A = this chain, B = another copy of it.
Amino acid sequence: MAEKKLVEAITARDEDFAQWYTDVVKKAELVDYSSVKGCMILKPGGYAIWENIMHELDRRFKETGVENVAMPLFIPESLLQREKDHVEGFAPEVAWVTHGGNEKLEERLCVRPTSETLFCDLYSRIVQSHRDLPKLYNQWCSVVRWEKTTRPFLRTTEFWWQEGHTVHATEEEAEERTIQMLNLYADFCEEMLAIPVIKGKKTDKEKFAGANSTYTIESLMHDGKALQSATSHNFGDGFARAFGIQYSDKENKLQYAHQTSWGLSTRIIGAIIMVHGDDSGLVLPPRIAPVQVMVIPIAAHKEGVLEKADEIRKKLALAGLKVKLDDTDKSPGWKFSEQEMRGIPLRLEIGPKDIEAGKCVLVRRDTREKIEVSISDAAEKAAELLETIQTDMLERAKSHLESHIYEATDYESFKKTVEEKPGFVKAMWCGELECEMKIKEDTTATSRCMPFKQDAISDKCVCCGKPAKKLVYWGKAY
């Protein structure tokens, strides 16, 4: 019963979601723990997903004129302190380098928790004229934030991300770029990851340290908790004033520049797992899967089976599919379990009887549906099925999201809904920090965002009853 082992080792998803998550992350070989507290190792299975995310996002960034750069890993303490709100937000959670070689440094360096200050320092030197604008820079790197409790992908001391930093002549242009990037992230999540999102603006309490406004895309996990999936910030001219980023306009007058920043991190892999995974492990959307089809021979020791399986693999590869052949000496059942655990969207089974009949069997990871196809049609049919899986996964995630959005117009039903119904609760808000804090204290739900679609459901704040200013999505979150 060796075949069963791999599957039995996973906790059932609806029994203990947190443990199920930890099991999947480990058994699907996405990450490993390291000797460094709070830091994870991205193993080949996990890094390959991140590579696909980077590749596609990078392509989309560059289409909008973004250029990549690489900035230093360290930030001198004095530079970090230049913008008041920013340093207050980040200083408590940074790692400090105090010694280089055998010598004590004159000034401490922090390991970047984010790189606004470094980009501002660069921009203050290279931006002089309106002709130098805009600058649309991005970098792919890792950043460090000292965390007390960590979970793979969701919260680790070091994580990988991209951080875009742009500088513009006008407020309007900066706001336009902020929204453009938020929409780019939302489209990417829906089209590539099959994850539908809610777009909106963060409240002042939840916005980025130093930003005028922060926009967010929020997704909903299978357990009904929200996950902030990417953010886009408009800094106005706050950082520009702190760092002296000025340009001479067409009338030769000195003006402060306007800036944005936007980021998406390896956290999104946590969302892929928690939106799509099931009791057999990971389920990857075909467009982001490092391997889309696993060919598994049945009775591989029999003459001609392995050869035929490899022939089919080649055919699928030629058709542009990401395909592998599992030709190890494990049993077919074990191979099925592994392919399912790793979330490979399609399995192609081929044995002696199939070969005789000129057929093979395709098995969908998401629905487990088995489809018998002729060997000659296998590539075409597999490509079609991958598209169908992608579409179906998005549809399922959409109906899960939609069926977990509730509304509340009075505080008692609000509290009851948060407690009893995992998901988002739409409710009106007066705009006061006090109500936001009270809701968090009473329910542990936080304001996820003020959605772009502001359809009022009442005219009173759900908490204090005073006149409402905004519709807010509330929810418990990762």
Contact = CB atoms under 8 A, between A and B. Distances in A.
Interface string A9-47: 000000000000000000000001011100111111001
B121 A35 contact: yes
Most B-side CB within 10 Å, residue of A35, A47, A68, A71: A35
Contact of A99 (B43, B47, B95): B95
A126 B97 CA distance: 31
Contacts of A74: 36, 39, 95, 158
**Interface size class, chain A:** 35 or more
A67 B70 CA distance: 23
A75 B144 CA distance: 14
A160 B68 contact: no
A410 interface: no
A36 B72 contact: yes
B72 A158 contact: yes
A268 interface: no
A73 interface: yes
A401 interface: no
Given A34-B122, A111-B111, A69 B96 contact: no
Given A34-B121, A72-B39, A142-B70, A44 B137 contact: yes
11 contacts: A34-B72, A34-B121, A35-B76, A35-B121, A39-B73, A47-B67, A47-B68, A47-B70, A73-B142, A98-B99, A100-B157
Given A41-B118, A47-B70, 8 more contacts: A41-B69, A73-B142, A95-B109, A96-B98, A96-B100, A98-B98, A100-B146, A111-B111
